[in-house]
Amino acid sequence: MLGLEGKLRGILSRLNQAAPEIQASAVVSMDGLMLASALPPGTNDDDIAAIAATLLGLGDRTVQEFQHGRLQQVYVKGDRGYTIITNTGQDNVLVVVTDENVKLGIIFLHIKLAAKEITHTFLHLLDASDQSASPPTYPG
């Protein structure tokens, strides 16, 4: 049976294969910890996780200040591609790195599907841990 990291890596692998423009992806906690990654060799996972959490925090603060509701996504455009950070709603984010030739509409669809799968994976994990826990006992 695959653990959480294995399941997340499977989702990331499928995402990376969904479009040739996707170069890398990762799931990062809001605290800046790498949960799973499909990043190129030589990439510092800790740096990517910290940067993603920082960007998400800044995006969240911006959305709050302008009263635009709940943060959904932050993306950064460079001259050779995009970094897209999507809130999955489970105290973690999906980070996707693309090249400059990407069709963003298609990539946003792939990201949305992967984010839903990540959310489902965490919810399933939480449900399983609730079922395996013994019922509380009360003094009396």
Domain spans in the chain, listed from the N-terminal domain onward = 4-129
On the question of pLDDT at 129 being above 90, the answer is no
pLDDT tens string 1-53: 578 899 999 999 999 999 999 999 999 998 889 999 999 899 999 999 999 98
Q: How far is CA 16 from CA 5, 6, 89, in A?
A: 16, 15, 21
| CATH number attached to the domain at 4-129 | 3.30.450.30
Percent pLDDT > 90 in the chain is 69
State the pTM of this model. Answer: 0.85
The Cα–Cα gap between 130 and 116 comes to 21
pLDDT confidence band for 122 (50 / 70 / 90): confident
pLDDT tens string 44-87: 999 999 999 899 889 999 999 999 998 889 999 999 999 999 98
